[in-house]
Amino acid sequence: MNWVNAVVQGILLGGQYALIACGLSLAFGVMRIVNLAHGDLAICGAYLGLVLSSALGVPVWVTLPLLLPAAFAAGMALQVLLLGRALRHGVLAPVLVTFGLSVMIENLLQVAATSDPRGLNGGALTLASFSIGTLTVSWLFLAAFLTACAVLSGLQLALSRTSWGRQVRAIADDLDTARLVGINVRPVFAVVAGIAVATAALAGVFIGTIGTFDPLAGTSTLIFAFEAVVIGGIGSLAGTLVGGIALGVTQVVVGEVNQAYAVLAVHLLFLAVLVVRPGGLFTGHQPAREVLRWGALG
Amino acid sequence: MRRDVAGSRAARPSPSSPSSPSPPVAVSRWNRTASVFTGACVLAVVFLAVLPYWVGGPAEQPLITLLTFIAMASLWNLLAGFSALTSFGQQAYIGLGAYCLYLVALHGVSPFAGVLLAAAGAAVVSLPVSALVLRLSGGYFAVATLVVAAVFQIAATLSPSVGGTTGVSLPGLAGYGDLLREALTYWVTLAVAIASVAGVYLLVRRTFGLDARAVSSDPVAAASSGVRVRRIRLLAYVLAAGGTGAVGALVALQTLYVEPTSVFSVQYSVDMLFMVLVGGIGTIEGPIIGALLLFALQEWLSADGAWYLVIVGGLAVATTLVAPRGIWGLASERLGWTLLPIGYRVRGQDGPGPP
């Protein structure tokens, strides 16, 4: 393994982080909710993939047409039953509710599936790789990265080109004015939550195929996703991809030197970004301090 | 929350309204229920303090657990309840306090006196940390505190001088017999619990309490009315960190062993969240009720760890959605009691005033 290889692997890993993070970023941008259960929902997606693929006896990819709509519906239900209600109790309630939800999910998974680490059946893709010179790239990692790019650009296109996207952006800009001009906010919220959970579940499937997962993996998944969002700049999907890549490259390159310091380096990168550019590394304009502190991060 | 602030502000005697012909309004904070309750509290504390002399060991262990809960809950309430700083990373200071106690005990300080030094150590470390995390608020603050706790945990596991992943056992206790050690641990725990509850109570009765609640309701409005927002948030964060550091030292005293995965466990944050939310966020009485409830729940469900946490998380979610003021909020509304009043009340009003 050389440095070029480490950077390439890091970029590919960053795609996975961005895929988890985009739902978090979207939910925050539109609903002003930091979903502390987002990582756990991704892990739920992995467990659902495990159940479906072992029940049907097929690689997990084949189950995606079942899994993704189920995750989308779960996200809508979550928004309607829980998060929408929490939002009515002020800005702190969603934080408290999603943290409680995260605790419940992690422990229900432990009851239902024990705490043994599991992996997903990825079929022939799992071990396939190709080489360019000294560089060896796993098809699975490349697939995860390309999926992340496709999902993020698809979302970006939907937001900027469709009338639904225009509604979402209007709500993100100013909820009250959006209501005033006749946007029906609740269905938009439900669809956004559905997309957030579906992308999280998709990311969970990649996590489970590339490595292993256990019921408590959700919290670290959430932390990585959150760091990608903040490093890339809150509310920017392209920034989220770049933030994820920055995380991935840091983790793999530092891990090349000493594996024990890889995760620590990622956290320190995040804290350093908070100090130097709290609006994110890759956003053109830095929001005014007070807006960042009170408005945008309400 | 907002109503409390408005209520207590309006209830302050205001000399600036000479035009109103109405008779002078009697404004008071204290009332008879509160006096009786405070007296009962003093008696209870005296009773708890002399308990080891005639009951001894068996009664101390559960009480130590309960008193630790009360301290943790009151301190988290100072953050989340009064200052809107929902930290889910207070286990960073539990762990830090435990390791600080190990380090000072290693250098010959009595572990019981070392609890104070551990609190000071945690408060000092929380200063630079606050410079990072207080840039954020709401959910972003919450996740950033989780990151800080993760960093502390990794730093502890990477430091061979504090035992790395295996941890260390607490030195400096060889001279004490089991009976004396347990009694001393109990007294120190009692002192920390009383200091936490009374400290938070006395603090929020001062202008700080009003300021903190103004900041948590609307920071911009608070800043524009002259509240020093940054200082209020800093004070709440550092004091809570110091107190939680003392609790961490108590944890080390009880278990006699400091191990990174257990002292930095997110379980501590879950417990704090549960006690404060279910008991009654933003009140002094609520966290104590929450602590009693968590203690009972733990005794009842101790056999099954996962289900216990499912129930704890579920009750916290349900309380937030159905009864956001918690058990004490509902009870005090129903009964019209304020046992430990923090606001002011105008006498002669119909019905109970704001607490």
Residue spans per domain, chain A: 3-114+134-296
Residue A12 near residue A144, CB atoms below 8 Å:
yes
Q: What is the torsional sign of CA B75, B76, B80, B85?
A: positive
What whole-number percentage of chain A has pLDDT above 70? 92
For residue B310, the chain A residues in CB contact (below 8 A) are: 103-104, 107-108, 111
For residue B320, the chain A residues in CB contact (below 8 A) are: 86, 89, 93, 96-97, 100
Q: Which residues contact B291 (CB under 8 A, 6 or more apart)?
A: B66, B69, B70, B72, B73, B275, B279
Kindly state whether B276 is in contact with chain A, defined as any CB-CB distance less than 8 angstroms.
no
Of the pLDDT bands very low, low, confident and very high (cuts 50, 70, 90), residue A89 is confident
Residue B325: pLDDT over 90: no
pLDDT at B348: 55
Residue A43: pLDDT over 80: yes
Q: What would the two tokens of residue A272 be? A: 């350093």
Average pLDDT over residues B150-161: 92
Contact A95 B310 (CB under 8 A): no
pLDDT at A1: 55
B163 vs B94 pLDDT, higher one = B94
pLDDT at B193: 95
Contact B321 A100 (CB under 8 A): no
Radius of gyration of chain A (CA): 19
What whole-number percentage of chain B has pLDDT above 90? 44
Contact B320 A89 (CB under 8 A): yes
d(CA A222, nearest CA chain B) in Å: 8
Kindly state whether B273 is in contact with chain A, defined as any CB-CB distance less than 8 angstroms.
yes
Residue B93: CB atoms within 10 Å: 34
Cα–Cα distance, B209 to B342 (Å, whole number): 8
Identify the closest residue of chain A to B82 by CA–CA distance.
A92
Identify the closest residue of chain A to B88 by CA–CA distance.
A99
d(CA B91, nearest CA chain A) in Å: 14
Residue A192: pLDDT over 90: yes
Of the pLDDT bands very low, low, confident and very high (cuts 50, 70, 90), residue B125 is very high
What whole-number percentage of chain B has pLDDT above 70? 89
Average pLDDT over residues A59-67: 93
For residue A94, the chain B residues in CB contact (below 8 A) are: 139
Residue B22: pLDDT over 70: no
Q: What is the pLDDT of residues A145-168, one digit of tens each?
A: 999 999 999 998 998 889 999 998
Q: What is the DSSP letter of A287?
A: P
pLDDT at A259: 87
Cα–Cα distance, B135 to A291 (Å, whole number): 11
Identify the closest residue of chain A to B319 by CA–CA distance.
A97
Contact A99 B219 (CB under 8 A): no
Contact A271 B147 (CB under 8 A): yes
Contact B306 A297 (CB under 8 A): no
Q: Which residues contact B36 (CB under 8 A, 6 or more apart)?
A: none
Average pLDDT over residues B303-311: 80
Residue B12: pLDDT over 60: no
Helix (H, G, I), strand (E, B) or coil at A174: coil
d(CA B303, nearest CA chain A) in Å: 13
For residue A97, the chain B residues in CB contact (below 8 A) are: 317, 320-321
Which of A97, A107, A264, A276 to probe by mutation at the B interface, max B CB count within 10 Å? Answer: A107
Q: What is the pLDDT of residues B194-234, one digit of tens each?
A: 999 999 999 998 888 889 888 888 888 888 888 888 899 99
Kindly state whether B309 is in contact with chain A, defined as any CB-CB distance less than 8 angstroms.
yes
pLDDT at B336: 74
| Inter-chain Cβ pairs, chain A and chain B, closer than 8 A | 142
Residue B30: pLDDT over 80: no
d(CA B217, nearest CA chain A) in Å: 10
Which of B79, B320, B322, B325 to probe by mutation at the A interface, max A CB count within 10 Å? Answer: B320
Pairing of strands B27-28, B168-169: unpaired
Contact B140 A270 (CB under 8 A): no
Q: What is the pLDDT of residues B240-273, one digit of tens each?
A: 999 999 999 999 999 999 999 999 998 899 899 9
Specify the range with the lowest mean pLDDT, choosing from A109-123, B172-186, B297-311.
Answer: B297-311
Kindly state whether B63 is in contact with chain A, defined as any CB-CB distance less than 8 angstroms.
no
Cα–Cα distance, A87 to A27 (Å, whole number): 12
Contact B273 A89 (CB under 8 A): no
Residue A18 near residue A156, CB atoms below 8 Å:
no
Residue A51: pLDDT over 70: yes
pLDDT at A293: 34
Cα–Cα distance, B96 to B249 (Å, whole number): 8
pLDDT at B16: 47
Q: What would the two tokens of residue B177 be? A: 């017999």
Average pLDDT over residues B309-337: 87
Name the residue facing B313 among A103, A110, A260 (closest C-beta).
Answer: A103
pLDDT at B243: 96
Report if pTM > 0.90: no
Calculate the average pLDDT of chain A.
87
Q: What is the pLDDT of residues A5-20, one digit of tens each?
A: 889 999 999 999 999 9
CA angle (A43, A46, A50) in 5-degree steps: 140
Which of A34, A78, A103 to probe by mutation at the B interface, max B CB count within 10 Å? Answer: A103
Q: Which CATH architecture has domain B2-11+27-346?
A: Orthogonal Bundle (1.10)
Name the residue facing B151 among A107, A222, A267 (closest C-beta).
Answer: A267
Identify the closest residue of chain B to A259 by CA–CA distance.
B158
Contact B136 A270 (CB under 8 A): no
For residue B132, the chain A residues in CB contact (below 8 A) are: 271, 274-275
Of the pLDDT bands very low, low, confident and very high (cuts 50, 70, 90), residue B323 is confident
Which of B134, B136, B140, B216 to probe by mutation at the A interface, max A CB count within 10 Å? Answer: B140
Dmax of chain A from CA atoms?
A: 59
| Most confident segment among A15-29, B119-133, B213-227, B295-309 | B119-133
Domain borders along chain B are 2-11+27-346
Cα–Cα distance, A46 to A41 (Å, whole number): 9
H helix runs in chain A, sequence order: 3-31, 38-56, 64-78, 84-87, 92-113, 139-161, 163-173, 175-180, 185-210, 217-232, 237-257, 262-276, 289-290
What whole-number percentage of chain A has pLDDT above 90? 52
Contact A274 B219 (CB under 8 A): no
Kindly state whether B84 is in contact with chain A, defined as any CB-CB distance less than 8 angstroms.
yes
CATH top-level class of A3-114+134-296: mainly alpha
Residue B101: pLDDT over 90: yes
Kindly state whether B98 is in contact with chain A, defined as any CB-CB distance less than 8 angstroms.
no
For residue B348, the number of C-alpha atoms closer than 13 Å in the C-beta half-sphere is 7
Helix (H, G, I), strand (E, B) or coil at A130: strand
Q: What is the pLDDT of residues B183-194, one digit of tens each?
A: 899 999 999 999
Average pLDDT over residues A41-45: 95
pLDDT at B90: 95
Contact A86 B320 (CB under 8 A): yes
